[in-house]
Amino acid sequence: MVKLGLTATLLLGAGYATAAAIESHFGSHWSRRDIMRARDEGLRLIKTSEEDPGVWLTEEEKFEKFISKKIGFMDITETPELENLRVNRVTSDLVALKAFPTGPTHQSVATPLIAQASISNLRTWANALANFYNRYYRGSYASTSATWMYDTVVDVASSNSAITVTKYTHSYNQPSVIAKIPGTSGSVVIVSAHYDSIGSTTSGRAPGADDNASGVVVILEALRVLADSGYSPKNTLEFHFYSGEEGGMLGSRDVMQAYVTAGVDVLAVVNQDMTGYSPNNVIAVYTDYVDTPLTNYVMTLVPVYSDLPLSVDECGYGCSDHASANSAGFPAAYVCDENMADSSPYIHSSSDTIATLSFEHILQHVKFTIGFLVEGSYF
């Protein structure tokens, strides 16, 4: 393991297609052959803070030093443009924050839709996900869990022919899945959750019930309700099911980098990672590595669109997929089932099972999510 300066680490993580752009920003003495050699040797560029220049590790070292110890990190090896964008934004004096409403204004539309949410669907889908031996993005079940994810989203969306469902492929064998309810404005509002899981070893049992089958079923049920109702939004509503989160936000970073490149007008992203274990019976909204105006707005929705009190906390760098949207400059918020101190002690182990979940609590997240999507469709 060798720790490098910022210029060198960013360059080594790039490829021929992106090295020149990064060189033009940072300047470098590294050749493109050096850059490609690092990737060809299977090294990964890992950061544990925005200030961290990064370290090059093998996949095995990445697991041993970070994943197994539950240390937040990002793997920026294949998304140097996204990191470059983040650096540019941080050093710019011209960053403007988007404005959001002061509170919810479309309860008359959202409330009848919320009433259609079903707890039985949550149980069925969560059990199906937890029944995979694991859903590790580089493991033996990566492909089969991805097939289940895609097929389930297609089935859930099938009641509305206007909805499209696509796979977003990555360098590993577990695509992300994206469903879109088309709007008329050309702008996009996103809700997201990751569906991969990790245990105490890369090949061990990892049911990933709270982390993050619970988040996935929230997004699925919100999609089902809106699909079945034929809901027609002004802004396009997207439902992102990311892979590779446990490997350093790999899936979401790929998608967000692509959205920046394509010029997608993303108005808001609300990510949910763990929604079913809450000793304090709260909905937690996190305030670091997020967009403050959007987060403040999300806080106003919790008491209106759920029956639970609001809890506020911070989770640190590389906490979940909202960080990828934040790096891209898109307004992002993170909603969870608990504060850090009281969160599930079972995650990243064989003990993160269905038995630890409260489906009544997960249903509250569904209600909140439907409320947010309705409100967001009018932004």
CA–CA dist 316, 310 (Å, integer): 19
Q: Is the dihedral of CA 30, 35, 41, 42 positive or negative?
A: positive
Distance of alpha carbon 177 from alpha carbon 149, whole angstroms: 7
245 catalytically annotated: yes
Write out the DSSP string of 310-355: EEEE---TT-STHHHHHHHT--EEEEESS-STTS-TTTTSTT--GG
105, 377 contact by CB (below 8 A): no
| Marked catalytic residue, from 23, 75, 221, 245 | 245
Distance of CA 173 to the CA centre of its chain: 18
H runs (alpha helix) in the chain: 6-13, 16-26, 32-40, 59-62, 80-91, 107-114, 119-130, 142-157, 214-229, 250-262, 292-305, 322-328, 359-376
Kindly name the residue from 170, 322, 348, 361 that is annotated as catalytic: 348
CB 242 within 8 A of CB 251: yes
Residue 211 appears among annotated catalytic residues:
yes
* Candidate list 23, 83, 196, 211, residue with the active-site label: 211
- Known catalytic residue at 23: no
> CA–CA separation, 103 vs 301, rounded Å?
7
List the catalytic residue out of 194, 240, 361, 365.
194
Selecting among 78, 83, 238, 273, the annotated active-site residue is 273
- Rounded to 5 degrees, φ, ψ at 312 are -125, 135
> Rounded to whole angstroms, how far apart are CA atoms 73 and 168?
22
313 carries an active-site annotation? no
Catalytic residue among 75, 246, 313, 321: 246
372: DSSP letter: H
**Separation CA 88–CA 70 (nearest Å):** 29
> Would residue 34 show up in a list of annotated catalytic residues for this protein?
no
CB 319 within 8 A of CB 271: no
Whether 273 is a known active-site residue: answer yes
> Which residues are annotated as catalytic?
194, 211, 245-246, 273, 348
